[in-house]
């Protein structure tokens, strides 16, 4: 039996992001550098809680943004088949492909596919259709219900729209592991490239705000009235956000052959499940520890080689306590610089791991660690080296990004600087 070929090195050659910080990587960079709080009231639907629970909402004109995306015919009929999650995904994915120098024809030629992490999917559109039907019924107006939301509600609509617009004839896959979905999409797509099954893959996550997510987290009593303050001793909870982020994953030899610049390498991926509780993490962070250690082992690096950890850091009481303990178990107390970017974007749910992979890639490129915005007084559960202002990190080689989701779904990615 012939021996399996060695795994190929996987490079990130393109980045795309959209969310509360604005459209594009440049807007994100500016917000991170300035320490700008981008959260504010939700205005996608009327609610008395708008002033009480800030959110990370994209404030731009998504339909205008779509007009610049190759392969998207923006007209009334096509827009009806796109949910807000779809639009966010299309804009971010197109940005990543453009930076990688791959237009739809070239993506088609190399057989690129896409893996997408989602949780909200088309829920916002379904809610709007339901509210319209309910309002009509209360007025005694009964007519045939519109069926548009039934075509767009499922998560598969986003990957289908991405495939159609960017001519992706490779594998498409939707992943739903709650708030670790985007990170898992990147880890699994990178594994496909490493195995030689694809030369190019797009991977990331996308989620829009919705009533059910907004009110659902409020009912769980984990939403903060003054926004998230990750790892703060007096933190009060999270803020829901929306957004999308995608990366172009490419075999390093393939990227070099076409003259593409590697921005970072995906060197490690770990995934675990707490098997503990539907919403609460394991109190000692057992699953988080396992995911981080698996990612380090996969990357072939030691804890001391990691120069920065982008924490999941939702600012909920349970997450920050258990993540701090898990980080101390893996790296030692104060053993590695840590920050969370949740106050910049809000918690973008299934997109969070992908957004933070983009942040980590830029961290490697600029050798500047993003700040833990909102911190006043550090928690005492475990001593962490929290980054309180943007910090220069010359010689930064490896970073780790954590993403933890409901059901105890934990993912960790190690990204490394290209040689």
Alpha helices in 74-167, H assignment, sequence order: 76-80, 84-99, 104-109, 123-138, 148-152, 156-166
Mean pLDDT of the chain: 92
Side-chain half-sphere exposure of 362, counting CA atoms within 13 A? 24
Task: Yes or no: say if 383 and 404 are a contact pair by the CB < 8 Å rule.
Answer: no
Q: Which of 216-220, 251-255, 292-296 has the lowest mean pLDDT?
A: 216-220
179 annotated active-site: yes
Does residue 121 carry a catalytic annotation?
Answer: no
- Marked catalytic residue, from 153, 298, 312, 398: 312
Q: How far is CA 392 from CA 270, 301, 308, 346, 370, in A?
A: 27, 22, 11, 24, 9
Distance spanning both ends of the chain, measured CA to CA: 34
* Residue of 282, 347, 360, 398 with catalytic role: 347
Express each pLDDT in 164-182 by its tens digit. Answer: 999 999 999 999 998 999 9
pLDDT for position 75:
65
For β-strands 113-117 and 264-273, DSSP reports them as unpaired
- Residue 257's DSSP bridge partners are none
- In this prediction, residue 144 has a pLDDT band, given cuts at 50, 70 and 90, of low
CA distance 115 to 113: 7
In sequence order, which residues have a C-beta less than 8 Å from that of residue 202 and are 6 or more positions away?
A: 93, 96, 97, 107, 112, 113, 114, 115, 162, 166, 168, 189, 246, 247, 248, 249
Do 331 and 291 form a contact (C-beta atoms < 8 A)? no
Q: Is 273 a catalytic residue?
A: no
Residue 215 φ then ψ, to 5°: -75, -30
Q: What pLDDT digit, counting tens, does each position of 42-82 carry?
A: 999 999 898 889 999 999 999 999 999 988 876 666 777 89
Q: What are 391's strand-pairing partners?
A: 369
- What's the residue count for the chain? 419
Q: What does pTM read for this prediction?
A: 0.94
Q: Which of 179, 271, 360, 398 is catalytic?
A: 179
- What's the pLDDT score for residue 315? 94
pLDDT digit string, tens, across residues 76-126: 667 778 999 999 999 999 999 999 999 999 999 999 999 999 998 888 888
- Which domains does the chain carry? 10-413 (3.40.47.10)
> Residue 128: CB partners within 8 Å, gap ≥ 6?
45, 149
| Residues 256-315 pLDDT 10s | 999 999 999 999 999 998 887 776 777 777 899 999 999 999 999 999 999 999 999 999
Average pLDDT, integer, range 358-374? 98
Closest CA to 18 of 226, 178, 204, 228: 204
């Amino acid at each position: 039996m012939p021996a399996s070929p060695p795994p190929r090195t996987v490079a990130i050659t393109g980045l795309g992001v959209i969310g509360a910080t604005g459209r594009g990587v440049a807007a994100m960079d500016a917000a991170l550098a300035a320490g700008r709080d981008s959260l504010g009231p939700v205005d996608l639907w009327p609610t008395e809680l708008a002033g009480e629970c800030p959110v990370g909402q994209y404030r731009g004109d998504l339909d205008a943004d779509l007009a610049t995306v190759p392969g998207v015919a923006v007209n009334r009929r096509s827009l009806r088949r796109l949910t807000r999650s779809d639009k966010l995904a299309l804009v971010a994915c197109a940005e990543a492909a453009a930076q990688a120098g791959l237009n739809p024809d070239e993506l088609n030629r190399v057989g690129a596919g896409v893996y997408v992490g989602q949780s909200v999917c088309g829920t916002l559109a379904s809610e709007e259709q339901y509210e319209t039907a309910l309002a009509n019924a209360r007025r005694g107006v009964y007519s045939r219900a519109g069926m548009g939301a039934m075509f767009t509600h499922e998560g598969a609509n986003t990957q289908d729209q991405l495939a159609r617009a960017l001519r992706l004839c490779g594998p498409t896959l939707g992943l739903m592991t709650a708030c670790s979905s985007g990170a898992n999409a990147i880890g699994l797509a990178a594994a496909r490239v490493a195995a030689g099954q694809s030369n190019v893959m797009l991977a990331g996550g996308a989620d829009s705000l919705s009533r059910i997510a907004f009110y659902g987290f409020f009912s769980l009593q984990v939403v903060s009235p003054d926004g998230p303050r990750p790892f703060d001793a007096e933190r009060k909870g999270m803020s829901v956000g929306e957004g999308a982020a995608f990366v172009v994953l490419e075999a390093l030899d393939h990227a070099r052959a076409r003259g593409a610049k590697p921005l970072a390498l995906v060197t490690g991926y770990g995934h675990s499940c707490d098997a503990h509780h539907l919403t609460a993490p394991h109190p000692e962070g057992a699953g988080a520890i396992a995911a981080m250690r698996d990612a380090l082992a996969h990357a072939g690096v030691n804890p001391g080689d990691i120069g920065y950890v982008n924490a999941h850091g939702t600012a909920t009481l349970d997450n920050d306590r258990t993540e701090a303990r898990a980080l101390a178990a893996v790296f030692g107390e104060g053993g590695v610089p840590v920050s969370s970017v949740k106050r910049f974007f809000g918690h973008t749910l299934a997109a969070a791991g992908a957004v933070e992979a983009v942040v980590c890639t830029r961290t490697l490129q600029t050798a500047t660690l993003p700040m833990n915005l909102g911190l006043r007084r550090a928690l005492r559960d475990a001593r962490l080296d929290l980054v309180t202002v943007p910090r220069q990190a010359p010689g930064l080689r490896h970073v780790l990004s954590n993403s933890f989701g409901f059901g105890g779904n934990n993912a960790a990615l190690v990204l490394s600087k290209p040689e």
